[in-house]
Structure formats: C-alpha cells, structure tokens
A and B are shown apart, each in its own frame.
Chain A
Amino acid sequence: MKEQTLHAAEAGSPPGGLREGVRRAFLRHEWLRAYTLVSPTLILLIVAMAAPIGVLVGLSLWTQSGMEFDRTLTLANYETFFGKKIYPLVLWRSIQISALVAFATVLLAYPLAYFIAFHVQRHKMVWLILITLPFWTSYLLRVFAWKLILGYNGVVNSGLTTLGLIEQPLEFILYNVTAVVITLAHAWAAFAILPIYVSLEKIDRSLIDAAHDLGEGPVMTFLRVTLPLSMPGVIAATLLVFIPTVGDYVTPKLVGGTTGIMIGNLIQSAFGRGANWPMGAAIAVISMLMVTLAVCVFLGGVKGLKKLLA
C-alpha cells in the first residue's frame, strides 16, 4: 500500500516522474518483470486458447436443427454421445491407440537418446539435427510414404515376395491399428527423443560412477540411477506424443481403414459432412476431458511406481 501511494505521488511529479516510477517499480518487484516477460504469450494463450475452448463448450450446449443452431442450453449432445455405443468405443480405442503409440515411441526413442547423450562425444548437434530431418518434409507426405511401404503392393510386401518368404502379400499391415501405430510412432519420434535426450544429458556422470563403485553392474545402474533420473524426460516424451495423437485424424483416415478409426475422425465428420457442429463440439469437449483424465491417471501411476521402487 505504502509503495503504491509513493508511486502515485511520483506520477504527479514533474516530467520523467512517471517513467522513473515505472522504472523503480520494475526494479523492485520481481513478479512485475516476470509478468511483463510472459505477457505476449499470456495474451496469445487467452485469445487463441481459452476463448476458443469457451466457444467450444458453449457450442456443445446448443443443438443443430436443420441449418440453424437451436440456442437453448441442453446436455442433449452429451446424452447422444453416451447413448450411442460408437462414440465411447471409438474414444476409448483412440486413447488405447495413442497410449500404445506413446509407449512404442518412447521405447524406440530412449536407446537413441541414450546413445547420443552418453556415447556421442563430438558433433552432438549434427545428430540432433539429423533426428529432425523427417520434419523437413510434409506430415502428409510422410503418411503417404508409409502407405507405400505398408501397402498391398508396397515395399514390405513386394520385398518379402521377391525374397520368397511369402507367397501372398500380407494384408494385416495396412488399413488397421498396427499401421496407425507404426505411422504415428515414426511421425512423433523426434518429440520423444529430444526431451529424453535433455534429461539424460543433464545426469551427472559421477552418479553413474558412484553406482558402479557401490557394486552395481550396468543393468542395475541403469534401473536404479539412470532411468529414475531421466524420468522427467520420459514423462514429458510420453505426454508430448500421447496428447496430440489422440486427436489425430489424418493418419487414421489414410492408413487406419475401418478398424483404425479414431475420435478425430468422428469430430471431423461432425463438423464436415455430418454438419452437426454442436455434436462435434461435444465430442471434442468430452475427448479433451478424457485425455486430461488419462494424463492424470498416468502421472498418478508414475508417482505410485516411484514410491514403490524407492
């Protein structure tokens, strides 16, 4: 209070007083500097994130009647969602697929991140840039590439046929969940490698020496020291892959077939061909809540696991 009156007094003083007051307030209050620093981002987040989500929630409470919105607030769309089996089923499957994708991606990314962090001595930057190399082409192009690789007459099938290992092309590798998982895992690999790499790179090497010194071989040292200390990276990687893939609709549409359909496809069709925006909004809101719930369950599980191991 005292400082405020002080600044107010200064504001009324001769030219330069206001500027001086602001300057002093800046030097004195750490939080003021901090908020000034984040304010562009904060404004963008409010305008571009919070507002649309508010609109989405509002929209989900309306209903579609013909070409018009019926603006009476109702939970009818949510009743429809849980009334029809297809919606919860597809949502549940999307979460499962994404969990599987996240798991597979982290599992494949970890050794690579470990290799770069611990065994690459020079030119680490080159390795890290190479990892982002797939991102230099369009996402769509990469999905199509997988279609070519996994397709009926694709690289895998024709290769195996030529080698004489199979007589008929394998059909179970495209247009199903497997294809979706493979494609997504590849597409999101860099998002898993980088956070894991950072957390591994941060580990003090003397801790690993210490574990060896205290009698633990390479495997137990990894399990008792390296892995727990890299958990922040693993968690970040899992979330970075899991959360965006739940809503993905391009990959399931192109390589998922009928069994690989995901919640994003349902949202897209509600907004598109289905022309039922309130229903689409409701699906989006529910899937958002479910992803949040899944993340909470995951983080709770990690915490429990930590306690169990300690």
Chain B
Amino acid sequence: MPDEAFISILDVSKHFGPVKAVDRVSINIAQGEFFALLGPSGCGKTTLLRMLAGFEAPTLGEIYIDDQPTASMPPYQRPVNMVFQNYAIFPHLNVYQNIAFGLRKEKLSRSDLDARVNEALALIKLEGYGTRGANELSGGQRQRVALARALIKRPKVLLLDEPLGALDKKLREQMQIELRQLQKSVGITFVFVTHDQEEALTMSDRIAVMSEGHVLEIGSPEGLYERPRTRFVADFIGTMNFFEGRVRAREGGKIAVDAERVGEVQVPADDYDFNAGDTVVVALRPENIRMRPGRPDLTANMAHGTMSNAAYLGDRAHIYVQTEGSEQPILVAMQNLDGAASSATHGERSVALQWSEQAVLLLRPE
C-alpha cells in the first residue's frame, strides 16, 4: 500500500434500501496510479466509482481526494472527470463542442479555446473531426471523444466506467495499450472499472477485486494472478484448477498434501502456516501443468488420466484430462509451439501430468 494516498476511501458503505451495494470498503490510491476496480457485475464497483465522481453519496464513511473531504462537494466542483460507460456524448453537439463543453467556466479567448481543443483532438488522433456530428462517430471514436472531453479539464483523477466494453476485441486491445500510454504521458491518476480480468491485468498498476460489495484483495496484476489469497480471486482472475485436500505432514521445509484427483502434492512450507490435519484447497493454473503421453510411476506432484476433451484456441489448446474415479476433469493449457497443441488435441489418450512445487498454491477453504 502506498504511504501517500491521493485518493482515500475510508470505510465507505452505500446502501440502496436493504441492499448493501458497497459494504465497508477502504482503498488508498496513489497519485499517478492506474488503479482498476475489478469484479463481476453487481459487485459494487460502479457504485464506488460513482461515489468518487459525486453522483452518489456514501451512506457511511468518507472519501478524500487530494486531502479534501468530498462529502459536501457536488460533482461539478470535484477535481475529477469521468468517461462514461456509454460515453454520454452530447447528441446535440458536434465533436468540437463536446470536447469544449467543460471549458466554459475558464472563459478562454476563441484562439485559446481552439488551441486547447485542437491539442485534445491531436491527443486522441482525431484531428479534423471537430465538425463531425456526435451521431457520425464510430464506437471507438466516441470513446476517444469522451476521453478528450474529460482530459481537457485537466482533472486530478480520471474515472473510467468500463470504457472499452462496447468495442470489438481488436479495437479494445489497441485502446488498452493506447490508454495505458496516454495515462503515462499525462500522469493523471486513473481509476478504472471493469469486469474483464484480462483488461485489468493488461492495464493496471494495481487492482482491487470486488465481490458482493466487499473488496477481497488489492494487489499488483502479477501478485493477484500468481499469489491470490482467496479462492474467489484465484478463480475470477484467469482460470484455475481446484482440488480439495488435507495436509498430511509438514517436514523438511515442505508441506505434503493429500488432494483429491491428483494424489500427493508437495509445496515449499515457507509461504504457508498450515499444519498437519488442516483442510486446504490446492490451486493449480492450467498453463503450469505439463502433459506428456504414457502412464508413468506416480510420485508427488504428478497425476495420471485420459484426455476427454480438447478446445483448440489457436495460440494454445485447452485439454481436459479425466482422472480415475472422478467426473470433474483437470484443465491443462498447452502452448501451440510448433503445432504442439494441434497435434495434442488428437494424439495419445492416456497422459501423465506434472507440475513444479512453485506452481502449486494452497488456499484456505471458504
């Protein structure tokens, strides 16, 4: 957690009648940070963002932006601007007028105003589009105009509510990179709401994963992906195989776990405080499992099964391996290196699975 919090969300709750949309959330966000609020729909992330913008008032708690308490600050007095989910481009105004909308109070001369707007148009690579009507823009262009309209106010914080949700995949990936570069060049704090975990991983410095009004974990993309502390986060970010298990022994710097479907799993003991007899959940990423044909003698961190199903995804393949006596398959991801995945999808049926100690995560059962 950064010591100098630029945005401080302190124990904030928002109730809509009996529904606790946001429940006792505390987050600190540093200046210049690209911060993502990630969660499934209905988790409270948009409500939290709208409280930052001032459209909703917290039922409990306080939000500070740049050391200012915001409780009595209406949206039009806050040093924040927002890119709306549907972009909220004013349909009765053209691109120029949309972008210049927020500058009325600065009382700029015509030439200064032109300069500012043209600078913003250049930033979003839409030079010469000033006279276009709002309805003549494509989805990507609308998104850029919404961005320019917010950034031209030179806010201290830019709030983005699923800004890429309406774009097609290719454009979205391109905009992710552009948005990230833009944020670095303008140096403004971005708070970004998304339900797309891949998007959050690609763009953010830090991510807060939310579920049912609570923040479950806050961390860097690498941290949350590789070392999640809760089963929800492990499951929500990326794909994960889970196996119920019980710690058999803790000795010699290792924890040995007996897990369903995969037998004995060994993990370095340093990272965990589990002891013999504890029930645990063993979590294993599909890409950390190596697969080869055959039926070897099993040792720790190995399993055996038969391929039951395969999904070919181009760059990789998802292979479902059925272990003996279990309905639920183990998911293995295989990189399509030199066509390895495409041959694996119709290759040997009986396979051995193996993974390293470092790849295994032990989670507390919920």
Contact = CB atoms under 8 A, between A and B. Distances in A.
Interface of A: 204, 206-207, 209-217, 220-221, 224-225, 228-229, 310
A204 B76 contact: no
B86 A214 contact: no
A188 to B, nearest CB: 27
29 contacts: A206-B85, A206-B86, A207-B88, A207-B90, A207-B91, A209-B53, A209-B75, A209-B82, A210-B82, A211-B101, A212-B54, A212-B55, A213-B53, A213-B82, A213-B150, A214-B81, A214-B150, A215-B102, A215-B105, A216-B76, A216-B104, A217-B74, A217-B76, A221-B76, A225-B90, A228-B92, A229-B91, A310-B94, A310-B97
A27 to B, nearest CB: 30
A209 B90 CA distance: 11
Contacts of A216: 76, 101-102, 104
Contacts, number: 62
A211 B92 CA distance: 13
Given A206-B84, A209-B55, A214 B149 contact: yes
Nearest to B85: A206
Question: What secondary structure prevails in chain B residues at the interface with A?
Answer: mixed
Contacts of A206: 84-86, 88
A215 B102 CA distance: 6
Nearest to B146: A210
A231 to B, nearest CB: 8
Interface in B22-67: 53-55
B153 interface: yes
A209 B161 CA distance: 13
Nearest to B100: A214
A227 to B, nearest CB: 10
A233 B75 CA distance: 28
Given A214-B81, A214-B101, A216-B104, A229 B76 contact: no
A209 B271 CA distance: 47
Which of A210, A220, A310 has most B Cβ within 10 Å?
Answer: A210
B345 to A, nearest CB: 45
Contacts of A214: 76, 81, 101-102, 149-150, 153
B240 interface: no
B268 to A, nearest CB: 49
Nearest to A229: B92
Given A220-B104, A224-B101, A229-B92, A213 B86 contact: no
Interface in B144-166: 149-150, 153
Q: Top 7 closest A-B pairs, CB basis?
A: A214-B102, A210-B88, A206-B88, A212-B75, A213-B82, A228-B92, A212-B76
